[in-house]
Structure 1
Amino acid sequence: MANKQPNILIFMADHYRGDMAPPFGRCLTPNLDSIYNDGGLAFTNCYTPSPHCCPSRATFHTGLYPTEHGVWNNVMVGNTLSRGLNDGISTWSVPLSQEGYKLYYSGKWHVSAEVGPEDFGWINIYGNEKFHGKKCHRPAPDPYEWEQYIKKDCHIDLRGEDPASIRKEGQLIREGYPDFVLYGQSEKPSNDEKVVAAAEKQLKKCCQNPEQPFVLYCGTIGPHDPYFVPKRFLDMYDIDDIKLPENFYDNMLDKPNLYRRTKERFAQLSVNEYKEAIRHFMAYCTYEDWLFGRLVKILKDEGQYDNTVIIFTSDHGDYCGEHGLFAKGLPCFRSAYHIPMVIRWPGVTTNREEKNIEKFISLADFAPSILDICHIEYDKESYSGKSFVPLIKEDKEAIANWKDEIYTQTNGNELYGIQRSIMTPKWKYVYNGFDYDELYNLEEDPHELVNVADRPENRPIIRELAAKLWKFAYERKDTCINPYIMVSLAEFGPGIIFTDKKNL
């Protein structure tokens, strides 16, 4: 099958941490384990460029970084930075459709509020109406968003109340904000079973026409917070076996104040509630693995398992109790960026002995890689990402010349904050436009507990990393540069790449 156009099944979860999938084995994933052990492989250092659904998904589909494709935060909220992709930006699905592939889309899109999957060659089978309705073009300020504050009994009023006396298990008290409970039980969380059921139905149809190559994309919402899961999956985990992360007690006094303010929201939880939230998150991951397994079973039952490339990944991760946090956001910790990447490619990964690839890859690398897998010619200059297919095929030259760093870009989630980072195997440098910067020695401090950016002996390291970061920004046409005295706060500004000629 390696020399013909294969079918592709893509399962993209939401918030799924990298260490919750093979080969790390932190939680129960029998279906992922099955394809991993049956000729699959894992990229153990796969990262998203942004800790947010919309920009990360836009990167997956376009092969470009946020500064290039133009999606920075939630495209559906009133104060979004953009409603969708920049003019002229396309996705990897278009050339596949033009080359005769049938493409089917079920589930979460979150790339644009102006256009949908059907505008890029997909046949939508569940969850995405045409994105041309008025409901997608909300004004700012957004009346819809204000309704949740105006509506009776939708937010907490603490006047005369002791927060501890009214707080329910897992609830985060936020006076004046809508109620939020971090975890609980639900037999059908989010809408994922409907998403997968639609994908199952379509997959059976696809398998009945083996001469027609297809791509089936299944985008679930789990294990996105809040972590509500069916009881049978929760029962697989004993609360006594749940351990707090090694960096749980990080006071973050050496980190940006926003990080500490975020942690304060979760500090009202007891230690047992933290463990319960972690337990629920892990159970949610197992639930998603079960959904994924339903699709793999169809491929096996219909005789298309060895004719189909299977890819499991996520848009971003989740703190899951690390540093006392949950969900994802501006705190630039590895757990929010590290994502799973398990792939089974019959005739290719099934012929490898080594099951893990430790080289850095990004969601930006998926677009050219998928085109390579499908034997579709493309202009390499059209993508910022680079095909990881040569790594899978154990090309020695590609392995020797592969990138040694990962770059991230975010301008904040629903509210704003300029942040860029670079990570190498040893160092991680974070430029924060809203506060002081961060530097972590990942070899000595893998849990990112000690910010060593203010140590004089590390100034040359910061300069070297900053030069690489600004060079990447220059190449990607990043706009996070401004010389005005009140905002030009980086220790080393963009101009260092022009004084250090070797960086150009």
Structure 2
Amino acid sequence: MKNQPRPNLLIFMPDQMQAQVTFPGHPCKTPNMDKIKETGVSFHFAYPPMAHCCPARASFMTSLYPSQHGIYNNVSNDQAIHRQLNPGIETFSEKLAENGYQMYYAGKWHVSATETPKSRGWTELYLKEQELDNGNRRKAYREMSCERGKRSRKRGEILRPGWGGYTLYGSSDKSYTELNDYICVHKAISQLDRLQDSEAPWCMYIGPNGPHDPFVIPEKYATMYDPDQIELPPNYYDDLQDKPRIYQRMRKVFSQLSEQEVKESIAHYWGYCTLIDDLFGEVLDALVRNRQMDNTLIVVVSDHGEHAGAHGLYCKGISMFDEGYRVPLILSSPKLVKNPGRVVEQFVTLMDIAPTLIELAEAEPLGKTSGRSLVPFLSGETPDNWRDSIYAQCNGTELYYTSRMVKTKKVKFVYNPTDFDELYDLESDPYEMRNMADLPESEALLKEMYVKMWEHAFQSEDMNMVKYIPVTTGEYGPAIVNGKESTTR
């Protein structure tokens, strides 16, 4: 990579796009993402350190775990535990701006409630944020009728007495060009046109809100996939009886949907993914039109996935099933990628992207990182001592549903302090249907995964090591990594 001009950097980050829809042979059409795989490298096992928008995006920007950067859940909630990055935390954008990059931001932010992209070195092209005001929310609840049993449910709707209605999918009255995501992408494209003859390198972030739920999209995309041709997810019939009770309660909410509605919801989700891919195609056209493709590294990644009916669930954030955690990650560049079209099987994380961009920009490294540069993979190399497992932290929604996950290629372990632990053999049970955590024959494996979890917890400065007796519910405590077992048995 030496002796080459510093590349332009284009980051395209759709919200809530599961990796599976971009896999070869998947029925969902993403031709533009498929196209850049031909000049790039795809990472088959890419994960965020937490499957919530704000913590995941903060980790993407800082190369740190939530336990390090301080964004534990939704910063838009005015009662959030922490609404801004910890003092002294830097982002990759500041380093690039200091090193001469022109920085442009269009789309969703969700990194801090007290700062905007401008605070971190970006020029803002388009920003759409939502502030959740609990005062207004409480007022709305006071005026809301509970509605239990008072009206019939509409197609695609989830009735929630006392919470307000929720429509999971449907057709939008807006045309393609009226969508916020279209406006966001075209603000970015307009700036790309202005950069055609720029001599200074640039970095542009484009973050559409789709395919985040609800899946309400223009008719063209809502009818693109025939629900009758869609199969239910292989794990849809999982009764969740051997899994945490919260999963069962979540499933009960979504069980209002008939199997036909589940298929319709999947059709709408796929349609939304194709819509986002079409917008991405317009970005690629702009790069070609402005003769910028050859010297631009394109990064396609999502902040987290979407269950889309897997295990009977939707959305993301609490359960740690693969559909909600695994994300697409593609790095594409005609000049920088050797032997393009490759698929990397090593575990990677959103935290690896910031060090990658900093290295390519020849900028000053961040002071502390939990991620590692992916640049060697562009040349077909695997860095020494690369991780053999992935670690994720779920800090729930404010004070609810915390958990931790460790995943290797063969085993997934989820530590749920207030409920059942989860242990899955991914070779014989790839869809995570059979929880083995309480089986006597799993005791040695369970212990091994506890060791891995606590090792990751130490490395990520995790805060789940409180030793007050009522909350030490894990089978093994942190000292197990030193050979000093602490068990409740």
Per-residue displacement from partner, 1:8-40 (whole Å, max 9, x unpaired)? 110101110001124453410111112112x12
Is structure 2 residue 421 aligned with structure 1 residue 437?
A: yes
Q: Which residue of 2 aligns with 1:289?
A: 277
Task: Please report the RMSD computed on the Cα atoms of aligned residues, expressed in angstroms.
Answer: 1.9
Return the offset for 1:148.
2.8
Q: Do the aligned partners of residues 175 and 415 (structure 1) sit closer, same or farther apart at CA in structure 2, a change above 3 Å counting?
A: farther
Consecutive unaligned residues of structure 2, counting only runs of 5 or more, are: none
Q: Which residue of 2 aligns with 1:446?
A: 430
Kindly report which structure 2 residues correspond to 1:344-359, keeping only aligned pairs within 5 A, or say none: 344-349=332-337, 351-353=338-340, 355-359=342-346
Q: Which residue of 1 aligns with 2:180?
A: 191
C-alpha contact (below 8 Å) 2:46/2:350 kept by paired residues: yes
Match of 1:77, SS?
Answer: coil
Per-residue displacement from partner, 1:275-323 (whole Å, max 9, x unpaired)? 0000000000000001111111000011111111111110000001000
**2:440 aligned to 456, 467, 484, which one?**
456
Q: Which residue of 2 aligns with 1:103?
A: 103
Return the offset for 1:418.
1.7
Return the offset for 1:416.
1.8
CA distance in 1, matches of 2:5, 2:340: 22
Return the offset for 1:259.
0.3
**2:356 aligned to 348, 369, 387, which one?**
369
C-alpha contact (below 8 Å) 1:425/1:442 kept by paired residues: yes
CA distance in 1, matches of 2:334, 2:360: 11
CA distance in 2, matches of 1:423, 1:436: 17
Is structure 2 residue 60 aligned with structure 1 residue 73?
A: no
CA distance in 2, matches of 1:278, 1:424: 28
CA distance in 1, matches of 2:222, 2:82: 38
Kindly report which structure 2 residues correspond to 1:13-28, keeping only aligned pairs within 5 A, or say none: 13-23=14-24, 25-28=26-29
Provide the identity percentage.
40
Kindly report which structure 2 residues correspond to 1:329-340, keeping only aligned pairs within 5 A, or say none: 329-340=317-328
C-alpha contact (below 8 Å) 1:156/1:173 kept by paired residues: no
Match of 2:95, SS?
Answer: helix
C-alpha contact (below 8 Å) 2:105/2:205 kept by paired residues: yes
Per-residue displacement from partner, 1:312-366 (whole Å, max 9, x unpaired)? 11000000100001111211101111000112122222x3155211110001111
Aligned length: 481
Per-residue displacement from partner, 1:94-152 (whole Å, max 9, x unpaired)? 110001000000110000001111111100111168xxxxx9696xxx21221331345
Q: Which residue of 2 aligns with 1:158?
A: 148
Return the offset for 1:212.
1.5
Q: In structure 2, give the amino acid aligned to 1:157.
A: E
Per-residue displacement from partner, 1:415-463 (whole Å, max 9, x unpaired)? 5222111000000010011212000000110000000001112111111
Q: In structure 2, give the amino acid aligned to 1:144.
A: N
Per-residue displacement from partner, 1:144-187 (whole Å, max 9, x unpaired)? 221331345xx54125x3xxx61000010110112101000113
Q: Do the aligned partners of residues 203 and 353 (structure 1) sit closer, same or farther apart at CA in structure 2, a change above 3 Å counting?
A: closer
Return the offset for 1:41.
2.1
Q: Which residue of 2 aligns with 1:214?
A: 202
C-alpha contact (below 8 Å) 1:22/1:342 kept by paired residues: no
* Bigger mean CA deviation after superposition, 165-174 or 247-256: 165-174
CA distance in 1, matches of 2:419, 2:175: 41
**1:395 aligned to 381, 389, 397, which one?**
381
Per-residue displacement from partner, 1:251-283 (whole Å, max 9, x unpaired)? 000000000000000101111000000000000
C-alpha contact (below 8 Å) 2:84/2:112 kept by paired residues: yes
For normalisation by structure 2, the TM-score amounts to 0.94
CA distance in 1, matches of 2:372, 2:397: 26
Q: Do the aligned partners of residues 373 and 22 (structure 1) sit closer, same or farther apart at CA in structure 2, a change above 3 Å counting?
A: farther
Q: In structure 2, give the amino acid aligned to 1:366.
A: I
Q: Which residue of 2 aligns with 1:49?
A: 49
Name segments (4+ residues, structure 1) moved above 3 Å: 22-26, 135-138, 187-190
C-alpha contact (below 8 Å) 1:19/1:26 kept by paired residues: no
CA distance in 1, matches of 2:469, 2:25: 46
For normalisation by structure 1, the TM-score amounts to 0.92
Match of 1:166, SS?
Answer: coil
Is structure 2 residue 88 aligned with structure 1 residue 63?
A: no
Is structure 2 residue 134 aligned with structure 1 residue 148?
A: no
C-alpha contact (below 8 Å) 1:156/1:179 kept by paired residues: no
C-alpha contact (below 8 Å) 1:225/1:327 kept by paired residues: yes
Q: Which residue of 2 aligns with 1:132?
A: none
**1:416 aligned to 394, 397, 400, which one?**
400
C-alpha contact (below 8 Å) 1:23/1:42 kept by paired residues: no
Q: Do the aligned partners of residues 126 and 243 (structure 1) sit closer, same or farther apart at CA in structure 2, a change above 3 Å counting?
A: same
Consecutive unaligned residues of structure 1, counting only runs of 5 or more, are: 130-134
CA distance in 2, matches of 1:223, 1:64: 25
* Bigger mean CA deviation after superposition, 21-30 or 192-201: 21-30
**1:204 aligned to 193, 207, 213, which one?**
193
Match of 1:218, SS?
Answer: strand
Q: In structure 2, give the amino acid aligned to 1:88.
A: G
C-alpha contact (below 8 Å) 2:193/2:290 kept by paired residues: yes
**2:451 aligned to 467, 486, 496, which one?**
467
Match of 1:408, SS?
Answer: strand
Q: Which residue of 2 aligns with 1:87?
A: 87
C-alpha contact (below 8 Å) 2:7/2:297 kept by paired residues: yes
